[in-house]
């Protein structure tokens, strides 16, 4: 038996919150105990190594380990005294030099003593159960009594007042005499005597087996008060509860979980960041790749989509990727022809601007689904049929998107999580009604305000299509979702509340019913009035545009159990890199303080997407400044 590094024992991987730290914390104590017991029970070294690795034990030390190792070393000596029948050739204790990572926050001493005691109790009960056929008694340290005995290399049993006593020679230990009381107590030759009942008989086995129940009581007490250690190792995120998987497809394990854990409200070692339109025209590699290709044609090629999606991931230290696609694939799946014109953007050949055009689309879609349409059917009845079959409207017509997600996540090789997305129903409706992007929204206002019944029918179908589309993305491999309501502020707050909010809420309800733990984000651009009602939905993260105060919104949303994403003004990226660094640091300090604590429930982003004329190196300055906060 050997402690392979006498100066550094292990590093308890940082824990995000106490409810997630109990399991790994006690895994650490069990690892120590099993290694301590190896000499007595002759466990194969491979077994100890496997447990050590499984417990995620790493080199370094902490105040927590001082107490645990003290208890474990003491208990190992007790084990030798109780159960050693043949002479041991040698044994080794530990010379521990405590070290705490520079980002670490030590837990309170009393709680760590309690954890060490729990380790002792668990080991005692375990050993007693193994030795149930023997006359087993617990032994306790009384005091250092025996002078150094350099000639002895194994415990020597004798009798003092009828009880076994073990003399532990100083020469066989390299444990320092200084340090915590528990370490010092076993650093020199110590006497161990039996713990007996009033009648002089050994403690009964049943008494020992009650000790784990005492452990449970300690755990319940600690759960309410123990601060959790926070640290970072080699830039990797802290450990926590496993993230759920909602796909049957096997992908490489995820190496960077910061963004997902931030969305779940768990602690992270640095602020995660991704950027809207991070794969796009500002990148020279994107422009070169797309120089001889048509946008929507590329969107239908999974391998080309994967290549473009990975371009910013390969260039920058980002914490998430977002699938390269377009929100208008939903109208395309409804049979609307769209083209991307250089000076205008996406343009629909036949907009849907009135009830007659909508009814015509209803009939065509129902026919494509093989459903019978009779002359006496009302528009509402047709709409109900479309809603009931919305899943068939987004597959197989949009299978190319799902294939691209699967291909992209495979090529990502676990670097970062992959975000899927859709346009919000009202934003999609604006494009379908206007026929292209708009500044006046004339036709949208005419339909919404002049024929709200038709508008609501259109929005209802779009909502169910979006929900099924997003859920299919998750099944294909997407690990988070965002709904983009880019035109949320196009009309009045009253219009948004009637024609957008109910449908945004329904999407979240449907997705969360199917995937309750999946991180979801909603982005209602230029709609500050939407924050309060969006905080009542099932979205986990509310994305902010640049007009909102980050600190105030974060405080307000987190008080309601939500997180925020955003919200650097994209125009800041036109500043020199050193100015970007200064502005980002100032923004984060105003929002979250001096950086002594990494904010939870926060994902950094911009208030809108990248522009074609942004300098790629200026984005790097933004990313680096975000990551530098609190480091």
- 382 within some domain: yes
Burial bucket for residue 246 (CB in 10 Å: 0-12, 13-18, 19+): middle
pLDDT value at residue 394: 98
Structure tokens, 381:
């009845």
pLDDT value at residue 38: 39
Binned average pLDDT, 10 residues per bin, the chain of 631 residues: 28 32 46 44 34 31 44 51 38 29 36 55 56 37 35 33 34 36 35 36 48 60 40 39 80 96 95 97 97 96 98 98 98 96 91 97 97 94 98 98 98 98 98 95 98 98 99 98 97 97 98 97 95 96 97 96 97 98 97 94 97 98 97 87
Return d(Cα 333, Cα 468) in angstroms, integer: 13
Do residues 81 and 157 both lie within one domain? yes
CATH number for the domain spanning 561: value is 3.20.20.210
Do residues 291 and 176 both lie within one domain? no
pLDDT value at residue 289: 98
pLDDT value at residue 557: 97
Return d(Cα 514, Cα 238) in angstroms, integer: 28
DSSP string, 228-274: PP---BTTBPPB-SPPP---SS--PPPS--HHHHHHTT---SS--B-
Return d(Cα 3, Cα 218) in angstroms, integer: 29
- 248 within some domain: no
The radius of gyration of the chain's CA atoms, rounded to the nearest angstrom, is 32
Do residues 274 and 216 both lie within one domain? no
pLDDT value at residue 188: 36
Whether residue 159 contacts residue 114, with contact meaning beta carbons closer than 8 Å, is answered with no
Do residues 205 and 268 both lie within one domain? no
6-45: burial string, b at 16+ Cβ within 10 Å, e else: eebbbbbbbbbebebbeebbbbbbbbbbbbbbbbbeeeee
Q: Where are the beta strands (DSSP E) in 384-501?
A: 418-423, 480-485
pLDDT value at residue 78: 52
- 229 within some domain: no
DSSP string, 574-621: GS-HHHHHHHHHHHHHHHH-SSSSPPSSEEEEESSPPPTT--HHHHHH
Residue 575 main-chain phi, psi, to 5 deg: -80, 165
Do residues 441 and 561 both lie within one domain? yes
Do residues 293 and 420 both lie within one domain? yes
User: From the CB of residue 162, how many other CB atoms can be counted at a distance below 10 Å?
Assistant: 8
- 250 within some domain: no
pLDDT value at residue 30: 54
List of residues 6+ apart from 481 with CB closer than 8 A: 419, 420, 421, 422, 470, 473, 474, 511, 518, 519, 520, 521
Q: Which of 223, 248, 274 is the last residue of a domain?
A: 223
User: From the CB of residue 560, how many other CB atoms can be counted at a distance below 10 Å?
Assistant: 12
Return d(Cα 302, Cα 408) in angstroms, integer: 8
Give bridge partners of residue 347 from the DSSP assignment.
339, 436
CA–centroid distance for 505 within its chain: 24
List of residues 6+ apart from 337 with CB closer than 8 A: 348, 349, 350
- 251 within some domain: no
Do residues 217 and 262 both lie within one domain? no
- 600 within some domain: yes
- 55 within some domain: yes
Do residues 415 and 303 both lie within one domain? yes
DSSP class of residue 316 equals S
Do residues 196 and 277 both lie within one domain? no
pLDDT value at residue 218: 59
Residue range of the domain that includes 602: 258-628
Return d(Cα 376, Cα 352) in angstroms, integer: 23
Domain count along the chain:
2
Do residues 213 and 281 both lie within one domain? no
CA nearest to 332, candidates 468, 432, 425: 432
Return d(Cα 68, Cα 52) in angstroms, integer: 15
Q: Which of 223, 249, 283 is the last residue of a domain?
A: 223
Return d(Cα 533, Cα 537) in angstroms, integer: 7
- 38 within some domain: yes
Do residues 273 and 215 both lie within one domain? no
pTM of the model: 0.66
Q: Which of 203, 223, 243 is the last residue of a domain?
A: 223
Return d(Cα 451, Cα 355) in angstroms, integer: 8
List of residues 6+ apart from 480 with CB closer than 8 A: 259, 260, 263, 320, 417, 418, 419, 420, 518, 519, 520, 521
pLDDT value at residue 343: 83
Whether residue 425 contacts residue 462, with contact meaning beta carbons closer than 8 Å, is answered with yes
Do residues 585 and 453 both lie within one domain? yes
């Amino acid at each position: 038996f050997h402690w392979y590094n006498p100066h550094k024992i292990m590093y308890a991987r940082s824990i995000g919150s106490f409810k997630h730290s109990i399991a790994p914390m006690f895994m650490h104590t069990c690892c120590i105990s099993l290694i301590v017991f190896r000499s007595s029970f002759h466990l194969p070294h491979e077994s100890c190594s496997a447990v050590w690795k499984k417990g995620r034990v790493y080199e370094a030390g902490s105040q927590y380990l001082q107490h645990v190792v003290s208890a474990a070393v003491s208990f190992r000596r007790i084990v030798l005294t109780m159960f050693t029948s043949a002479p041991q050739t040698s044994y080794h204790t530990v010379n521990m030099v405590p070290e705490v990572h520079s980002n670490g926050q030590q837990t309170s001493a009393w709680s760590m003593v309690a954890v060490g005691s729990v380790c002792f109790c668990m080991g005692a009960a375990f050993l007693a159960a193994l030795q149930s056929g023997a006359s087993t008694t617990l032994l306790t340290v009384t005091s250092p009594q025996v002078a150094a005995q350099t000639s002895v290399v194994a415990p020597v049993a004798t009798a003092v007042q009828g009880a076994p006593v073990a003399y532990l020679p100083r020469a066989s230990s390299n444990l320092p005499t200084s340090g915590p009381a528990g370490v010092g107590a076993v650093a020199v030759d110590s006497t161990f005597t039996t713990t007996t009942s009033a009648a002089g008989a050994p403690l009964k086995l049943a008494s020992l087996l009650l000790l784990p129940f005492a452990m449970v009581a300690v755990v319940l007490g600690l759960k309410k008060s123990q601060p959790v250690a926070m640290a970072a190792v080699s830039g990797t995120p802290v450990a926590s509860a496993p993230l759920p998987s909602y796909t049957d497809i096997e992908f490489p394990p995820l190496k960077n979980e910061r963004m997902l854990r931030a969305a779940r409200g768990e602690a992270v070692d640095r602020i995660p960041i991704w950027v809207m339109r991070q794969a796009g025209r500002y990148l020279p590699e994107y422009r070169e790749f797309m120089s001889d290709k048509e946008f929507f044609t590329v969107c239908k090629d999974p391998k080309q989509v994967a290549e473009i999606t990975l371009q910013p991931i390969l260039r920058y230290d980002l914490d998430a990727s977002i699938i390269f696609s377009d929100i208008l694939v939903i109208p395309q799946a409804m049979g609307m022809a769209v083209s991307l014109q250089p000076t205008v953007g996406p343009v629909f050949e036949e907009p849907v601007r009135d009830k007659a055009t909508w009814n015509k689309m209803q009939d065509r879609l129902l026919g494509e689904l093989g459903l019978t349409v009779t002359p006496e059917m009302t528009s509402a009845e047709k709409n109900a049929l479309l809603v009931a079959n919305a899943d068939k409207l987004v597959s197989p017509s949009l299978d190319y998107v799902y294939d691209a997600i699967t291909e992209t996540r495979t090529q990502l090789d676990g670097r970062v999580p992959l975000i899927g997305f859709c346009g919000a129903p009202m934003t999609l409706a604006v494009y379908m009604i206007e026929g292209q992007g708009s500044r006046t929204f004339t036709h949208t206002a005419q339909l919404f305000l002049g024929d709200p019944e038709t508008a609501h029918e259109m929005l209802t179908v779009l909502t169910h299509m979006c929900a099924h589309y997003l859920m299919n993305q998750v099944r294909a491999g997407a690990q988070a979702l965002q709904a983009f309501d880019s035109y949320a502020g196009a009309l009045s707050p009253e219009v948004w509340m009637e024609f957008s909010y109910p449908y945004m809420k329904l999407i979240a309800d449907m997705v969360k019913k199917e995937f309750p733990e999946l991180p979801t984000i909603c982005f209602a651009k230029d709609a500050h009035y939407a924050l309060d009602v969006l905080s009542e939905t099932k979205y986990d993260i509310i994305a902010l545009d640049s007009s909102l105060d980050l600190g105030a919104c974060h405080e307000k949303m987190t008080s309601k159990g939500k997180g925020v994403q955003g919200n650097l003004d994209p125009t800041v990226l036109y500043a020199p890199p050193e100015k970007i660094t200064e502005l980002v640091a100032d923004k984060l300090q105003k929002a979250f303080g001096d950086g002594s604590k990494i904010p939870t429930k926060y994902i950094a982003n911009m208030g809108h997407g990248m522009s074609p004329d942004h300098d790629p190196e200026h984005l790097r300055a933004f990313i680096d400044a975000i990551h530098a906060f609190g480091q």
